[in-house]
Structure 1
Amino acid sequence: MSPRTGNTGPLGVAMIGYAFMGKAHSNAWRNVAGFFDVPAVQQKVLVGRDATAVAEAAGKYGWAESATDWRSVISRDDIDIVDICAPGWMHAEIAVAALEAGKHVLVEKPLANTLSEAGLMAGAAAKARAAGIQSMVGFNYRRVPALALARKLIAEGRVGTVRHVRAAYLQDWLTDPQAPMTWRLRKETAGSGALGDIASHAVDQVLFLLGDQVTEVSGRLRTFVDRRPGPDGPEDVTVDDAAWATLSLASGAIASVEASRVATGRKNSLTIEIYGDKGAILFDLENLNELRFLDATAPAREQGYRRILVTEPDHPYLQAWWPQGHIIGWEHTFTHQIRDFLTAIQDGTEPSPSFEEGLNVQYILDAVEESAAARSTLIKLPAEGA
């Protein structure tokens, strides 16, 4: 179950980062064993740079202790799992060090800020896997029960041959030009803007739902507000506000992907449309418990989208939660993610999405940037992201 020799007790978890994602992950670690049959865990230590703030967060989120030096934490014998919720520029160094120290690693998406960093992480993960050490990327929307159901319906042929897909992830938290600078708006710390932050989710959903491979990419990026208020005066924004991409898939399908952090009125909207020759599927994150399905093989007079309320015990993940009809929320996706990760550790199987799958998404994001810079060049991707 664990690389720690002779360990028969709970798996010790260390988490690095305690802001937005740290809070979501902490909630999942705290609750997963109360709903799913998984190996026992202990929230050992929460790591952050500000000693006072991380200590306060540790107390609120259920961690036994806090620390400011992640290097000393990953060397501890009582730590079996390292969960990385730090900004993207820190992912590669921490993940590689943790894997080399024999720790299972979960890292938030995107895998890294650059293609080269992602490649290093995938290489370290492959080497560690040979020693029974598992790793996974946190694309939590794979764990939305409605989307997990959509994947099953597609795999079962219910929509037939998929012809095209539309995926749009839209937010508006940067609509105001006076919104202040953050690390997410600097290329050296964030890697990219809407592209890596939220388009990565949309791209991963295309791959996840269809079980397909992207072969060609055409992309556009745009920064609508190029200077924002900083602590010492105006600063240049060095990442994109919005991204668009057209993806050609190995199956012959075409996917369009759109992401924006300046889409006025959209708070956290992920919509996915899948069109096949025998049916279609619609999903909207703002109605997380619902899936719309159209069976085009039915007589024309009976056709139309039907609403599937994804709350039944035989729907993905729902057997662990509430009676039928009782909805779940966004935070449950992280609990499902931890459940799947712990199950993989227990069974000695490779969890998904793997670092290699995260690297494949990184290839696609990199190709979007390359295409945008070249202005209309079609970028061909290597087979399987190799």
Structure 2
Amino acid sequence: MKSLGSIRRSFAPWTDPDAKPYISFRNVTKRFGDFTAVDNLNLDIYHREFFALLGASGCGKSTLLRMLAGFEQPTEGEIILDGQNMAGTPPYRRPVNMMFQSYALFPHMSVEKNIAFGLRQDGMPKPEIEERVKQMLKLVKLEQFAGRKPSQLSGGQRQRVALARSLAKRPKVLLLDEPLGALDKKLREETQFELMDLQQELGLTFVVVTHDQEEAMTMADRIAVMSAGHVIQVATPAEIYEEPKSRFVAEFIGDVNVFNGTCKGVVDGKCEIAGDDGLTIRIQSADVPPTGTKAGFAIRPEKMRISAGPPADSTVNAISGEIWDIGYLGDMTVFYVKLESGKVVKTSQLNAARTVDDPFGYEQQVWVSFAEDAGVILKD
């Protein structure tokens, strides 16, 4: 059985035509004066899904989250949550809670009082508050820090306090706006997996806004890639990475090399693209552009091979060039190869061994090659 990437969990209600979305944005538009932040957007999110809204600053992802939370109202369209139209429902009456990037903890309150604050506001009896706070502290592994103030905690600990406070009211949906942006790289990576485990343990729906591709790829069941108020593609992380449906998604997610050219048609069962860089690319693809039309070809650096001579396998695509730059990253080495046309392509090679026989050097003539099924055709 072949799959695009490893499968984190057997959870895919979006593939079931009978599954009912838990959250639906229906023809939602949001304008701020003359500026359109979200433009006639349609999107479905399912119960217990970890869903990521991914895009550059100003693409509309935070506006979408704020409309779901009730802090903004759509100019047009509907937002449906668990079968109920959210129009006119104030934030405090929605079954959602939002965790902000700044965490917004009360500096004069202890950890346990920060967590209990919303419960006290709702008038929950004191014994129940104490029990709920105890549960939340255990959940985020902060029992021994209950009496400390936020200033006495690390960034990761403050993040977990904010998370516990958001979960204390047991919302149906937890909204996270750039939740890990203030953490250092190592702690951010650890916290990503903690959030994933916590979400599955609680069985809640998480919707996270982020501009960090790696964060979205690690945590989310599905990702919506956004640009200029539109959703460009919604798919699993593996599908987004391996089968981008547009040039924008291919170039936005990860590193990619794009060859532009003209489709020559199907030759010996393979689609051929005459590249503008002098390379005729043979591709295994069921989705072939019309002959004579412009087309692009996208391939990830790790799917390209670099060698001192032409590859022995005649079925692979290959082109010669000169090593322009080298980057040693520890786990892998990145090579920038300048082709005869002047185009520079990026390849990466896993450093599986500690030493390398005859390593490549600057200005060395090499061959770059890739298999016929290593990349995808781009039509726009």
Output the TM-score relative to the length of structure 2: 0.29
**Which of the pair is proportionally richer in helix?**
1
Q: Rg: which structure is higher?
A: 2
TM-score (norm 1): 0.29
Structure showing greater relative contact order (alpha-carbon pairs closer than 8 Å, 6 or more residues apart): 1
